[in-house]
Amino acid sequence: MAREPPLFLKHWIDIDPERLARYETMYQWSAAAEAFYAPAEIRAGQVVVDFGCGPGYTAIEIARRVGATGHVHALDINAEFIKRAQARAEAAGFADRITAQLLTDERLPFLAAAVDCITARNTIIYVRDPVSTFKEFRRSAESCTELRAARGSPTSPFEYRPSPIQRGVCSA
Ligand SMILES: C[S@@+](CC[C@H](N)C(=O)[O-])C[C@H]1O[C@@H](n2cnc3c(N)ncnc32)[C@H](O)[C@@H]1O
């Protein structure tokens, strides 16, 4: 029998229309998001995973940075977000550059060392087991040598604030 997801996951799997409408506004790309993703140094030709992609605004911006020779895998546990991320990719002319995929378990749908970079903004707090998630990141990313985490601030939930504690070696 399938296991019932814990409440913090159900919160994201079942989203009512009013909350979906709010997220469409909240997760739009902004200057704060630009600053947040800059340290990831996403480059042309890279294969990048946006883990917890929401409605797909970030995947579009990453797709611009990886260019025609790169690829973005937009992953989420919410089916409506995946539908919207795919539709958004098509509307932006990036249908061949972005693959939006629904996650149904904790394993990432990649072979070992298949991706270059993984971003996960405001998502790790929702995973069932962060250690297994980081192990999956490490297995999937070719050069996962550094983990950069960020915390929000009262003025901007997406402000990036590196510190010695928040930068560490990805050795999970
Ligand atoms: C706070 S939203 C952030 C959305 C997006 N990363 C952004 O910053 O605009 C968290 C996202 O993570 C997704 N999520 C929650 N738990 C997840 C999990 N275990 N695995 C993958 N995605 C998850 C949610 O469905 C939601 O889209």
Q: Does the beta carbon of 58 lie inside 6 Å of ligand 1? A: yes
Query: What is the total count of domains within the chain?
Result: 1
- Sheet of 47-51: strand order equals 98-102, 71-76, 47-51, 117-119
CATH number, domain of 113, equals 3.40.50.150
pLDDT given for residue 165 in this prediction? 40
Beta partners for residue 74, in sequence order:
50, 100
Q: Does the beta carbon of 73 lie inside 6 Å of ligand 1? A: no
Q: How is residue 137 written in tokens?
A: 């990141």
Q: What is the mean pLDDT of residues 12-40?
A: 90
Q: What is the mean pLDDT of residues 87-106?
A: 97
Answer whether residue 100 shows pLDDT above 60. Answer: yes
Q: How is residue 130 written in tokens?
A: 């962060």
Q: Does the beta carbon of 126 lie inside 6 Å of ligand 1? A: yes
Residue range(s) defining the domain that contains residue 73: 7-16+39-144
pTM: 0.90
Alpha helices, H only, 5-126: 7-13, 17-26, 31-37, 57-66, 79-91
Nearest to 56 by CA among 104, 102, 124: 102
Mean pLDDT over each residue of the chain, to the nearest integer: 86
pLDDT digits (tens, 9 = 90+) for 33-53: 888 888 888 999 999 999 999
In a domain, 76, yes or no: yes
In a domain, 136, yes or no: yes
In a domain, 164, yes or no: no
